[in-house]
Amino acid sequence: MAKVVFENVYKSYPRSRAEDVSVASDIRIPKIEGNQNHPKQKSSNHSVSVLRNIDFTVEDGEFMVLVGPSGCGKSTLLRMLAGLEELTGGNIYVGDRLINSLPPKARDIAMVFQNYALYPHLNVYDNIAFGLRRTVNQSLKSNSIEDILTGLTRSLPKGLRYHSAKEKEIAKRVKYVASLLQIESLLTRLPKELSGGQKQRVALGRAIARNPQVFLMDEPLSNLDAKLRTSTRAQIVQLQRQLGTTTIYVTHDQIEAMTMGDRIAVMNEGKIQQIAPPLEIYHHPVNRFVAEFIGSPPMNFIPVTYVAPLTLIHPQFCLTLPETWIEPLQGYKEKQLLLGIRPEHFSLSTVSEQNLAVVVNLVEALGNETYLSVHLAEEKNTTLQVKIPGDKAIARGESLHLAIDLNKIHLFAENTGESLRFSSESSI
Ligand SMILES: Nc1ncnc2c1ncn2[C@@H]1O[C@H](COP(=O)(O)OP(=O)(O)OP(=O)(O)O)[C@@H](O)[C@H]1O
Ligand SMILES: [Mg+2]
């Protein structure tokens, strides 16, 4: 096992091949240290930058979840770590090894993709054994005549097959992995005879069997139905804990992001926005992007003006903040800010200057809780998402008054979107 270090990593593609990227291209890329044989480092008008200044460490044995909108560079980052894409700048280390220019095979990294990429003509056993037949070679002294005999007799009936020492070692590993993933009964089936979830487990099995230093998983559950996703999700987390293999897991799914990782790395437009444990990301987002991206339904934002000493005013309401806000608000007198409120931090209340008068647009009663979409009574364009307990009967068109939990609010600078309270420096 090993830690993975991204050191000031950059990636650009030629502009013609990435026309749909809107990220600025004139970014100065720092010199690569310790790797003289590296591909071109310059970014020009002909190239477009898709990853910038990626600088973080995934600790040995850690489960890191990478989230961000489509096109932000998640897969590119994994592919560079796996050796399937060249770096434009920076360094990547696995353990103490600089791997920038190592071929994929030499990196000791296993990747599981969204489309399981199983070999259709090989059964489950051979799909899992395939990678091992190459890698076990290195750990076990291989006897070529034995290997040839094993290969030649592989399709014969069981009793007639020759098993080399290497093949016996492989069989042991395949059986171990199959039992971990509970696919022992599927070993003789072809991929076309498996369900989506079973294929997914075989793909995982193939990665696990290699016992790599690092697992990379790029949305491995996105083809599964909701129930299977939940069970496979739990299984992956349990397996990772059991094996202790450093893992980087890409997902779009909020629940996967919040529940699977030791830490979450939130990316946007090729840059890391924040890296922190899930609950820290949820409760202490460093900017508006993270606040909006993590949490479902997302955080609500309302423009307000700060009036010293501790008052936020909006044409429809006026809030008096707790004293803990004195320091973060210094320098923002009379300034416009964005007030951030999570849906669960509203509660049904009565008429008051502090409360928001709203009208209900939509009610989604899930039983255990109810989601409301509402708009400010006198500002139809300001819509808010609200989460309330499931036992309250609310009708569409109803007028309500919402109280805000003032201990849970967030404030963001209007121009930069940075949180007034939580700084990104401490979070990456
Ligand atoms: N081979 C390539 N040539 C040019 N541009 C590319 C290439 N591969 C990716 N890109 C661009 O790089 C950006 C990042 O792509 P990447 O696949 O890493 O995004 P992603 O975050 O994995 O998105 P998704 O969530 O949709 O999988 C995208 O804008 C994409 O168009
Ligand atoms: Mg991707």
In a domain, 108, yes or no: no
In a domain, 67, yes or no: no
Give the span between the Cα atoms of 219 and 207, in whole angstroms: 15
Exposed/middle/buried for residue 27 (C-beta within 10 Å: 0-12, 13-18, 19+): middle
- The first and second tokens of residue 314, run together, are 């909006």
| pTM recorded for the entire structure | 0.85
In a domain, 34, yes or no: no
Give the span between the Cα atoms of 92 and 324, in whole angstroms: 41
Q: Which residues span the domain enclosing 363?
A: 298-421
- Return the ligand 1 atom nearest residue 270 CA: 14
- 141-198 tens-digit pLDDT: 556 666 777 777 777 777 767 666 777 888 998 998 898 888 899 999 999 999 888 8
- 324-380 tens-digit pLDDT: 999 999 999 999 999 999 999 999 999 999 999 999 999 999 999 999 999 999 999
In a domain, 407, yes or no: yes
Q: Would you place residue 135 in the very low, low, confident or very high pLDDT band (cuts 50, 70, 90)?
A: low
Give the span between the Cα atoms of 67 and 50, in whole angstroms: 15
| The pLDDT of residue 107 is above 70 | yes
Closest C-alpha among 302, 328, 305, 292 to residue 422: 328
Across 218-235, average pLDDT:
84
Length of the chain as a residue count: 428
In a domain, 199, yes or no: no
Cβ of 81 below 6 Å from ligand 1: no
Give the span between the Cα atoms of 248 and 373, in whole angstroms: 35
Q: How far is the CA of 12 from the centre of ligand 1 (A)?
A: 11
Counted domains in the chain: 1
Domain CATH number, residue 335:
2.40.50.140
- 260-319 tens-digit pLDDT: 999 999 999 999 999 999 999 999 999 999 999 999 999 999 999 999 889 999 999 999
- Closest CA to ligand 1's atom 11: 18
> Helix 165-180 vs helix 124-139: angle between axes, to the nearest 10 degrees?
130
Alpha helices per DSSP H over 115-195: 124-139, 144-153, 165-180
In a domain, 208, yes or no: no
Under 8 Å between Cβ of 63 and 262:
yes
- The first and second tokens of residue 30, run together, are 């720092």
Cβ of 104 below 6 Å from ligand 1: no
Q: How far is the CA of 49 from the centre of ligand 1 (A)?
A: 11
- Closest CA to ligand 1's atom 24: 70
Q: How far is the CA of 194 from the centre of ligand 1 (A)?
A: 30
